Chain A
Amino acid sequence: MVSQTEQNLLALMIFFIMLGMGCSLTWRDFFSALRRPWGLFIGMFSQFGFMPLIALALALMLKLDAYQAVGLIIMGATPGGTTSNIFTYFSKGNLALSVLMTVNSTLFAIIMMPLLLFLYGPIFATDEFTIPNKNIALTLGILLIPVGIGMFIRKLSANVGALLELAGGIVGIFVILFLVVTWIPNNAAILSTTPWQVYFCAIALGLIGIMVGYRFAKILKIHPRSCRTIALETGIQNGPLAITIVLLSFKGPVADQVVLIPALYSLFIVISASFITMYFRKANTNEEQRIPDLL
């Protein structure tokens, strides 16, 4: 369902985008985010608390079959991914916080994912499956190395940094579009026979996650910009990682069933997050200090 080429292309795209993002960051940004570790704690809580619970509740309420349910649980227990950084960047959120949250949740995923699957997995009575720690480490690498390189480039030349930052964004949009456009026709057969509950869960997981994350941060009186960041970080999971985990853990037709929700989730989150990003971007503009036209 998800070919090797598509996975590679995705990895390459993420590398390029993260390089561009690194160019927009300095140590000061990370220092700023660490000064308010609340955001990080809250992020962890929604990431590994709310998201798996939302997945579990959806699976039970809509009576998904065991394979699809496991796919959904895996999706819910996956850490945040670079996609959330991209959307945070475009929504003018707190990018440093987003990157830190992603790094944080990816690190903790090494313990949390097995734990969560150990807790929730038996409900759907499947065989045990392995968490490929190697892939999680790879995710960290693909996240941190380009960010580091980007930060270094910016230090050398602000001009080159700004150009790469711009290029990263543009490349990101094109690759996402390309993947969406090619993936749907390739999988038309499976998609047309998939029950609506599966679609619903794939879409709802992200949307509910974003809303819950936002409310939660808001209740705890986090700065509005960070609230939006936490919301995106909670709702947007590392789709490619979930897909990889499934493909490494299951084989044959079972794998095709389990991977259905992670794949659909990865597709729909791009669409729903785009709308939310536009909304957040507008909210950010409205909040900016109104200072006189100093031009």
Chain B
Amino acid sequence: MTTNDRPWLKHYGPKTRADIAVNDFRNIAEMLKHAAEKFKRKKAFTTCMSNGMNGSLSFEQVDRKSDAFALYLREKVGLKAGDRVVLQMPNCLSYPVAAFGVLKAGCVLVNTNPLYTAREMQHQFVDSGAKLIVIINMFTDKLQEVSKVHSFDEVLVSRVSDFFNPAVGRVMDLILKYWNKQVPTSPYQDNCFELAVRWGEKNFDRSKLEGYLKDISPETLAVLQYTGGTTGVSKGAMLSHLNLMSNMQQIFELIGTEIEEGKETVMTALPLYHIFAFTVNLMGFYTKGGHNILIPNPRPLSNLKRAFENYPITWLPAVNTLLNALTQEVWFCDSPPKTLKAAVAGGMALQETVAARWAEVTGTPVTEGYGLTEASPVISFNPFNGPKKRNSIGVPLPSTFVRLELENGEIAAPGEPGELCCFGPQVMLGYWNQPEETAKTLREGWLKTGDIAVFDEDGYLKIVDRKKDMIVVSGFNVYPNEVEDCLVKHPMILEAAVIGISDEKTTEAVKAFIVLKSGVDMPEVTEKEIMAHCKQLLTAYKLPRVIEFRNELPKSPVGKILRKELRREV
């Protein structure tokens, strides 16, 4: 393949190369070590609670403690390289220590959503065959249920207050346990994660750690990241050390000049168990000497207020839902963070109205990117100094090839929508124990994303919609995103979701679910008014046939609106 196949290269900044250099490091562990040696006593992670209580770890401390945990895993528990370790925690100081420790031990990290139900946990634990779990004390009750089906060699329990100043940590534990009533009693409560780390610190042995590192090659599996993917049941995407390191390098190659080493403060409100925050915040900004402000629970949104007040936030990786919600908060709009450089949106389509409102409130841009778990996750991104295109997910990253395929496997003509397929060093190794699913998704190294996209004349990509969400009304393709975008332009509408319902005349018809802004009552906005609003913006076949008002919409943990839940209800 040549650069001629990549018309987007001309939009890269002057310092961005078409392809990333050969990686300096053999594995993530070496990369993390390098960062720790460089930034030493600088603060790497701070957990900020809603009342302003906080605890921090420096680069040195994170490095030392994660080394200690790696030793504990291999020497005390007796895990071997390649054994899977589950992390099931909200954002807290234990997250980097545990995650980095697992990677340094040559084990495989299985990031798990702490809000999973016992059934979902069970599937993930059994499927991955995990041997050890580090779980937050708030959710140990569910683990008991799961333990009937899947037993771990060892369960370690972490707390949000781990590694805090002991006085502050004690008060926090009391509040969480007795005031918020969030901590159930469990048989595991004495297996403290902090004690495991202490064991490793006591029995520190550098030569052993170096020994683990030698066995980790770039192609070694690093993370099993579970994803619903394009079809039903949750599958583990296998991401190697090289996948993740390449993706970080690719991202920084494209936007690197905007990031000042050792000077950035990044708001980590998105959960670290999600691949976006995992790659970008936890590891990416860490290698650049950034200070991560971890928010254990951004709900309600006022929990972010103290963090924005107390720290000079420069970057905010976010999803559309979070940005939308922030611009509806009075405290945020009155004093938007002055130090902010940009918000980075991914994970779901960024709505035009949200991007515009964000720019108006904060005076900083939202830069949209695109990716998916299977690509570690970023595939494309908007260059900061490139042309500003509305609704565009930008251009493919360096060393990334993108083509749009039609149903029949041919390449779409310019301007014609097709399924986005991607080739690059960030594309996963495959799905864990799912050769058939892997074969369907990976074809000769090309990842089929299931998203319909279109290239404009400059090589900028625009996502039209999910392949499976497309609605066919009388033979015309209707993309729910477009209809939703129109709906939320109505001043009274907070959120909207659009799905297809079966219809006698048109085979399928558009149904819209609408959430009004708080304080707006139903009689104030009628269906008629909304239809009139849509008619101004959409051709007839795209108009919603049915409108339903809801108090809220079903959403994934990162705030993606789950259309499939709505379809199931209908």
Query: Which residues of A pack against B, CB within 8 Å?
Result: 24, 26, 28-29, 31-32, 35, 154, 158-159, 161-163, 165-166, 223-225, 287-295
Contacts and interface: CB of A to CB of B under 8 A. Distances in A.
Contact of B330 (A31, A161, A223): A223
B302 A288 contact: yes
Contacts of B180: none
A294 B54 contact: no
A129 B559 CA distance: 64
Contact of B301 (A31, A35, A161, A291): A291
8 contacts: A28-B331, A35-B334, A158-B53, A158-B306, A158-B310, A162-B168, A165-B51, A295-B297
A28 B325 CA distance: 20
A288 B115 contact: no
B171 A163 contact: yes
Contact of B335 (A31, A163, A166, A290): A31
Nearest to B53: A162
Given A35-B334, A289-B301, A294 B271 contact: yes
B556 interface: yes
Interface in B290-338: 296-302, 306, 309-310, 321-322, 325, 328-331, 334-335
A28 B338 CA distance: 12
A206 B51 CA distance: 31
Nearest to B138: A295
B259 interface: no
B321 A291 contact: yes
Contact of A294 (B167, B269, B309, B552): B269
A294 B49 contact: no
B353 interface: no
Given A24-B51, A295-B557, 6 more contacts: A158-B310, A163-B167, A223-B330, A292-B558, A294-B557, A295-B297
A288 B297 CA distance: 15
Nearest to A96: B331
B257 interface: no
Given A26-B309, A158-B306, A291 B54 contact: no
A41 B334 CA distance: 20
A159 B270 contact: no
Interface residues of B, number: 45
B517 to A, nearest CB: 10
B191 interface: no
A288 B557 contact: no
Contact of B270 (A154, A166, A287, A294): A294
Contacts of B552: 290
Interface in B487-521: 518-519
B51 A32 contact: no
Contacts of B49: 162
B52 A162 contact: yes
Contact of B555 (A28, A154, A223, A292): A292
B114 interface: yes
Nearest to A167: B171
CB-based closest 8 A-B pairs: A292-B555, A28-B335, A32-B334, A288-B300, A158-B52, A162-B52, A162-B53, A162-B51
B321 A292 contact: yes
Contact of B90 (A26, A291, A295): A295
B165 interface: yes
A292 to B, nearest CB: 4
A159 B168 contact: yes
Nearest to B518: A287
A292 B557 contact: yes
Interface string B145-182: 00000000000000000000101100100010000000
A29 B296 CA distance: 24
Contact of B325 (A287, A291, A295): A291
